[in-house]
Amino acid sequence: MKRFILMLSALFVFAATAQQRPVQPLSQVMGMKNAPTDIFQAPARPAARPATVYTALDSIWYVFFGQLVITETFGYDQAGNKNFYEHLSYNGGSPMMGIRELWNHDAQNRIIRYEEQEYESSGGVWYTQFSQDYFYDAAGRLDSIMEWDHTSAASPVPSKAYKVHYNASNLRDTVYIYAYDNGTGTWALSERELYTYDGANRLFRYILQEYNQGQWLNDMKFLYLYDGSGKLVDIYSYSWNAGWQGDTWYHGHYTNRLLDTLYYYENSNGAWELMTKEMYEYDSFLNWSRFYQEDHVYGAVMLYRYRPVYDNSVSYSQMLPMNYIGSGFFYDDSQLFRHKLDTLYADQYNGSSWDNLGVITYYYSQRNLKVNDPQTFALRVYPNPARGIFHVLAEPGVRLLEVTLFDLNGRPVRKWEDGQTLFSVSNLKSGLYLLRIRTNRGSTVRKLILE
């Protein structure tokens, strides 16, 4: 479950490509605090919240302009652990590209194996890309991960190994990454992740370093800043080029401990340039009731709106399928949904009114168990639409292993494997493409528009 609002953003861009309209910023057009009341009016709520009933999300269907474009399907074991996820993209009603994720758990509900499969549309079959085995120490902490490559030989071969170390506070402080040379059959130290925490044991700094000829070389860094109540307010990312250089900046603003505005900036010639503004509203039960996204792309401002509808008869104890809304870095357990999300409507602002682009429908099954969802991660593709280049930004601890660009016939047109985050797409035709991003934490498929 690694796609939701960010994936919807790509769908919005796809829908808006044919007729983009430069308009005023949303804050000027609508006025978040004095907009017409119908913009933020939530559906009627029951006087009292019903008793909690645990449910399991079975599938999500994305229909835009009357056409099915994406389905997501979920499965669970008897203990409530998610053990199956399938993402399928459609073209003309037929599956074109897909990803499956499979998990196995031990008696303590810990992940012991993860496997990722891809869908081959030409043959209509699934094949395994890679898998990971998880090992735990005597204290029950994650000790190491062994990763296997299933694509280069008849049987899987070792690919990478991760060894986790903890500090005196039992927090992860270093992860050493080893690469396997299949030709020589040997392991070599490749990278390490360094985690630093503040006095409240909150993540303060993350650094990724590469090992080269006996030396550790800086690669990237993230800094995290918190307000007096402990809420995350700023995330800065840096890359190393003879010194740390700022790349991106997220800034969150809260009201009553709920995120109401999130700003995303990129470094442009030494100055921070606003790229995206996300604005949130909540109902009386603290369910998310509206989400607005304001994209600043090449001097134009594109406005999008997401309108959820809940099943008020059932109290729901889980977050959205993504475990986050929007950019995905600024949410905690206080943002659980109090009711089941049944339907989500997606709109675009045309300069004077809102046009509906599509609807996303959620299907559930009733279960007498609490669903345990494997950890998710946040990832952003920007700009989208792209001209010549695009970036992929992932949260700390998520490394890009392979990025592949496909046309709508499912043919790969570009592929990158060196862990880079800036990608060139010059000399490619304008249009809609699919971007498959494989990371050490799983894979995702995003739509990318090239102008």
The pLDDT of residue 176 is 95
The pLDDT of residue 55 is 63
pLDDT for 15 beyond 50: no
The pLDDT of residue 192 is 94
Q: Which of 168-177, 263-272, 409-418 has the highest mean pLDDT?
A: 168-177
Is residue 336 within 8 A of residue 348, CB to CB? The reply is no
Q: What is the DSSP letter of 382?
A: E
| Alpha carbons 361 and 342: distance in angstroms, whole number | 6
| Alpha carbons 413 and 34: distance in angstroms, whole number | 47
SS3 12: helix
- Which sequence spans correspond to the domains of the chain? 5-450
Residue 4 identity (one-letter amino acid) = F
Instruction: Quickly state the pLDDT bin for 24 (edges 50, 70, 90).
Output: very low
Residue 16 identity (one-letter amino acid) = A
Length of the chain in residues, anyone?
A: 451
The pLDDT of residue 14 is 45
pLDDT, tens only, 64-114: 888 888 888 888 888 878 888 898 888 888 888 888 999 999 998 899 999
List the single range of 24-28, 30-34, 218-222 with lowest mean pLDDT. 30-34
List the single range of 45-54, 99-108, 153-162, 312-321 with lowest mean pLDDT. 45-54
| Alpha carbons 145 and 143: distance in angstroms, whole number | 7
List the single range of 253-267, 295-309, 311-325, 386-400 with lowest mean pLDDT. 311-325
pLDDT for 142 beyond 80: yes
pLDDT for 26 beyond 50: no
Query: The tokens of 395 are what?
Result: 């949260």
Distances (CA, A) of 217 to 187, 206, 212, 213: 19, 14, 7, 10
Instruction: Quickly state the pLDDT bin for 315 (edges 50, 70, 90).
Output: low
pLDDT for 231 beyond 60: yes
Indicate the Cα dihedral angle 252, 254, 257, 258, nearest 10°: -80
Mean pLDDT over 229-233 rounds to: 82
Mean pLDDT over 178-185 rounds to: 90
Q: Which helix (H) or strand (E) element contains residue 346? A: strand 339-349
Instruction: Tell whether the torsion through CA atoms of 433, 274, 5 and 351 is positive or negative.
Output: negative
For the chain, give the percent of residues with pLDDT over 90: 20
Kindly report whether the global pTM for this prediction surpasses the value 0.85. Answer: no
pLDDT for 8 beyond 70: no
The pLDDT of residue 51 is 41
pLDDT for 21 beyond 50: no
- Listed in order, strand segments (DSSP E) in 150-229 are 157-166, 172-181, 186-197, 203-212, 215-226
pLDDT for 217 beyond 60: yes
Mean pLDDT over 176-180 rounds to: 94
Residue 32 identity (one-letter amino acid) = M
pLDDT for 245 beyond 60: yes
| Alpha carbons 33 and 288: distance in angstroms, whole number | 16
Instruction: Quickly state the pLDDT bin for 179 (edges 50, 70, 90).
Output: very high
* Contacts of the segment 235-239: beta carbons below 8 A, 24+ positions apart: 235/329, 237/393
Phi, psi for residue 353 in degrees, rounded to 5: -155, 175
Mean pLDDT over 338-353 rounds to: 82
Instruction: Quickly state the pLDDT bin for 22 (edges 50, 70, 90).
Output: very low
* Nearest to 28, CA basis, from 345, 294, 325: 294
Sheet order of strands, 379-387 included: 412-416, 400-406, 431-439, 442-450, 379-387, 389-394, 422-424
Residue 439 identity (one-letter amino acid) = T
Instruction: Quickly state the pLDDT bin for 365 (edges 50, 70, 90).
Output: confident
pLDDT, tens only, 391-423: 787 776 777 888 888 876 667 788 887 667 778
| Alpha carbons 8 and 110: distance in angstroms, whole number | 31
Mean pLDDT over 185-199 rounds to: 93
